[in-house]
Amino acid sequence: MADERKALIAAACHFYQRGWMVGTAGNLSARSANGGFWITASGRHKGELDELDFIRLDLDGMVLEAPDVAARPSAETSIHQAIYRCFPEAGAIYHVHSVEANVVSHWAADGRLRLPALEMLKGLGRWEAEPAVDLPVFENLPHVPDIARRIEAQLQEAPPAVPALLIHLHGATVWGPSPRAALHHTELLEYIFRFMVTARMAGLGGTQ
């Protein structure tokens, strides 16, 4: 297997070991050199993926390649389509369900979560001193395409300050120009979430 699935399998394993993709939760995708994007199939364990656990789709969701005929695309495929359509430079998208992402989603106001001005923001593309970065936070609607529609409409209007978004009490979605960049961005954002939870537990003020 010499395609993008290899990087996605390695990333899923990495996230699974950190408890961010327990069981079948979460999904990963990467644009394919052959067109469209590979995405994890629905209901597959993220610690044990192989090349049969992916489907290649075009940006409208049409199946281009399905190595396992029984596989169905991730239930959250529409969110990946929305992000690829908004950001031609996005090469990979990772969606993880960490405990910290869900805790910090409680602290959002007016659909935004202010991130602390940590050094880590440089890795997410914010190099200015004390950056004021708001992460967009979306309601977790029962019908995923409804969330995807809201994401696409809002991100087209106002691209986020960092390549990421949060869904309330659900998880984070992070992207980057390559699978490697998306992995780094996911780790950095999750570090920031852990810092926010830890800082609040320690009673530190001025961290959000």
The binding site for Zn ion (CB under 5 A) comprises: 171
Smallest gap from residue 196 Cβ to Zn ion (A) = 20
Smallest gap from residue 85 Cβ to Zn ion (A) = 19
Taking the least distance from each CB to Zn ion, the nearer of 45 and 200 is: 45
DSSP notation for 138-183 = E---SSHHHHHHHHHHHHHHS--SSSEEEETTTEEEEEESSHHHHH
Taking the least distance from each CB to Zn ion, the nearer of 113 and 118 is: 113
Q: What share of the chain is helix, strand, coil (3-state, %, to 5)?
A: 40, 20, 40
Smallest gap from residue 144 Cβ to Zn ion (A) = 8
Cβ distance 193 to 115 under 8 Å?
no
Smallest gap from residue 23 Cβ to Zn ion (A) = 12
Taking the least distance from each CB to Zn ion, the nearer of 123 and 171 is: 171
Taking the least distance from each CB to Zn ion, the nearer of 73 and 171 is: 171
Structure tokens at 174: 């992070």
Q: How far apart are CA 194 and CA 79, in angstroms?
A: 24
Beta bridge partners of 165: 173
